[in-house]
Amino acid sequence: MYIDRMSTAERLIESTRELLWERGYVGTSPRAIQERAGAGQGSMYHHFAGKPDLALTAIRRTAEELRATAETSLGGDGSAYERISAYLLRERDVLRGCPVGGLTMDPDIIASDELRAPLDETLGWLHGRLATIVEEGRQQGEFSAALTPQETAATIVATVQGGYVLARAAGSPAAFDSAVGGLLALLAPPA
């Protein structure tokens, strides 16, 4: 499952990331992490103070990865609409849900200020990045002056996160695709 050259600490982090996404915080036991990582208890506690420390490291890594992936689309070439479109239409494992958004529904993570912080920071970054692009589009005359950047950015984030929920509930990515298609039609520059 893992590359032989991956360090034990990396295997523990990656295993925790996967398990958090699949099972949530409570369902991610130290034993499950160790088994998936092929690491012993001593190795885990050698590298991390315990499950909360390892979970925080894994959550931070997941958040950083989401930001980097989003920035690939949002920071690319093209108009504001094209960059937002690239972000919305990028390849995703829709039926697995969002690795960050899913963690916001985990009561144990939300109850911990420390574990929740990377999620808040990432969603805040995404909202701000999208608002900046919407404002660029308004300034260029690409989007209606009536669009409020902050509200439009919130709508984009809500569409993506809600699209994941609807797709998972339906067992089909079609619901996600429909939500994204509808939003893009609303944002489309006038012909």
pTM: 0.91
CATH superfamily of 59-187: Tetracycline Repressor, domain 2 (1.10.357.10)
pLDDT, tens digit, for every residue of 97-125? 999 999 999 999 999 999 999 999 999 99
d(CA 50, CA 57): 11
Length, in residues, of the chain? 191
pLDDT in tens, 144-172: 999 999 999 999 999 999 999 999 999 99
**2 neighbors 17 (Cβ within 8 angstroms):** no
* Residue 97 dihedral angles phi and psi, to the nearest 5°: 85, 175
Which long-range contacts does 122-129 make (Cβ < 8 Å, 24+ apart)? Answer: 122/63, 122/66, 122/67, 123/157, 125/67, 126/66, 126/67, 126/70, 126/157, 127/153, 127/154, 127/157, 128/153, 129/70, 129/71, 129/74, 129/153
